[in-house]
Chain A
């Protein structure tokens, strides 16, 4: 059985047939996971130094030299690396007095912060399968982002206490701004809101819980939904990026709703993390520094929005990007600022970021060519072994060599 590192569900029931380095047949992989396995042979990056092709040792030495000379380096990415590589990354940040940040800074950071600090209750996905009878997918579309989420853990499977699965025992609601593929499955329980309307919806939900008339168009539907939510034995809220962006800076409202729901019954929150080991990095950095992201080691340990990739890309003099493609995913203005900084990129594939980097170090594809461990979106540690041999070292080996040379 192999583990799929295509998303943060880390499905560990994958069967793969291999012929040399070629994947001949896979079972139980969703389309997204299959894409990751198939990427083994497509668009791989090659070692490059200052625009010309080079040996991998030379690229590592040059990277170490650049890091040694940098005054204010930024280490970014990390969400697609194993826990072992992330540990080395944090050590490297300490040694080079760097700013370290991961993709959660522009993603689920705020919610993840509350979950890791235990400000809001959480549970594992196995608990959801066995006991979670009322689910709220909020601002996310699991059918597209985590294809096996609903079939493996949340809505469809039979659980210990929920033997009749989705047919009778489970109720799932979807709150989103558009009729997504998930909305087609949950058509009867789909609440469509206007963009940015999440805060108003939370107020309306709180009003019903307080016995007041909610200020929404369909008051009857809202009251019946809240009655259903109150009847839950164990409810779970899955906040997605839609909610994270809409409630930016006002996440206390979300906490207020979860606290209020927890007065009557048990409600947990599991953020819909995108990259396969974002939670792992957040947890590791939290254990070491007390903050989940946006940390600077320049003068002890400092934390703040000024150390986010968005701000730091304008002020750093070197960027080390590990397993991420910020040039494609960040807004144009910030990507432009980052592209102006000398970049070292560790990535198994060719991306826009590797194309613009001064040093490119190709690495093994974790989960397929490199083993290690990672934290699933609910914080459960999953270990995996390599299933194919790689000609390139893993992220962890590259970072160890850089650390040695520094």
Chain B
């Protein structure tokens, strides 16, 4: 997963404030948090930064499909084992007769399900990382054997 420092290295490092933020480092953090778009950095669109822009788009591509909670699923790495489905505290609370006891989810309010051999995110807003009272829960990533789930 790309870090804010890696993104910073690919910005023009001018601290021009055209994006509305005081520094390029602040822009890198905002870009990672999906509060800003690459296009908000106008100097980066100039021809002399073409290589940096291309590289930045490349490193940002894997996190383009992240949910509101920043959850990214790398389908190519997923085994479909369902460890995250069964370990997720929200799945357990919302689906005590299904994913809590190891079976396939039986409720519509679960966050993670396994479909076609890979995990999918259904209700990201139920996640404990969402909303004003969010906490840094990481049970789905900690239980993944192949690091197929990550948070931005």
B-binding residues in A (CB < 8 A): 13-15, 25-35, 129, 143-144, 147-148, 150-153, 156-159, 165-166, 181-182, 184-185
A-contact bits for B75-117, CB 8 A (1 contact / 0 none) = 0001111110111000010000000111111000000011111
B79 touches A30 (CB 8 A): yes
CB-contact partner of A143 in B79, B100, B102, under 8 A: B79
A26 touches B79 (CB 8 A): no
A156 touches B87 (CB 8 A): yes
B102 touches A28 (CB 8 A): no
CB-contact partner of B115 in A27, A152, A156, under 8 A: A27
CB neighbours of A152 from chain B (8 A) = 82, 86, 102-103
CB neighbours of B80 from chain A (8 A) = 29-34, 147
CB neighbours of B104 from chain A (8 A) = 13-15, 27-28
A-contact bits for B7-37, CB 8 A (1 contact / 0 none) = 0000000000000000000000000000000
Q: List 28 A-B contacts (CB under 8 A).
A: A13-B103, A15-B104, A25-B115, A25-B116, A26-B116, A27-B114, A28-B103, A29-B80, A29-B114, A29-B116, A31-B80, A35-B117, A129-B101, A129-B102, A143-B79, A143-B145, A144-B79, A144-B145, A148-B81, A148-B82, A150-B81, A150-B83, A151-B82, A152-B82, A156-B143, A157-B86, A157-B101, A165-B86
B66 within 8 A of A: no
B146 within 8 A of A: yes
Q: Secondary structure of the B side of the interface?
A: loop
B152 within 8 A of A: no
A156 touches B102 (CB 8 A): yes
B117 touches A185 (CB 8 A): no
CB-contact partner of B83 in A15, A25, A151, under 8 A: A151
A184 touches B145 (CB 8 A): yes
Q: Known contacts A31-B78, A147-B79; can you find 7 more A-B pairs with CB under 8 A?
A: A28-B82, A29-B114, A29-B117, A30-B114, A34-B80, A158-B92, A165-B87
**Residue among A25, A31, A181, A184 with max Cβ neighbours from chain B (10 Å):** A31
CB neighbours of B79 from chain A (8 A) = 30-32, 143-144, 147, 181
A143 to B116, CA, bound (A): 17
Q: A147-B79, A150-B81 are in contact. Are A30 and B117 (CB under 8 A)?
A: yes
CB neighbours of A182 from chain B (8 A) = 145
A129 to B103, CA, bound (A): 11
CB neighbours of B85 from chain A (8 A) = 151
CB neighbours of A15 from chain B (8 A) = 104
Q: Which residue of B lies closest to A182 (CB)?
A: B145
Determine how close the nearest CB of chain A comes to the CB of B103; give it in whole angstroms. 5
CB-contact partner of B102 in A26, A31, A33, A151, under 8 A: A151
Q: Which residue of A lies closest to B75 (CB)?
A: A31
Q: Which residue of A lies closest to B98 (CB)?
A: A13
CB-contact partner of A26 in B92, B117, B147, under 8 A: B117
Determine how close the nearest CB of chain A comes to the CB of B122; give it in whole angstroms. 11
CB neighbours of B100 from chain A (8 A) = 157-158
B4 within 8 A of A: no
Q: Which residue of B lies closest to A159 (CB)?
A: B101
Determine how close the nearest CB of chain B comes to the CB of A346; give it in whole angstroms. 27
Q: A143-B145, A156-B86, A156-B87 are in contact. Are A151 and B81 (CB under 8 A)?
A: yes
CB-contact partner of B117 in A13, A31, A153, under 8 A: A31
B38 within 8 A of A: no
Determine how close the nearest CB of chain B comes to the CB of A141; give it in whole angstroms. 9
A159 to B114, CA, bound (A): 21
Q: Which residue of A lies closest to B96 (CB)?
A: A158
B118 within 8 A of A: yes
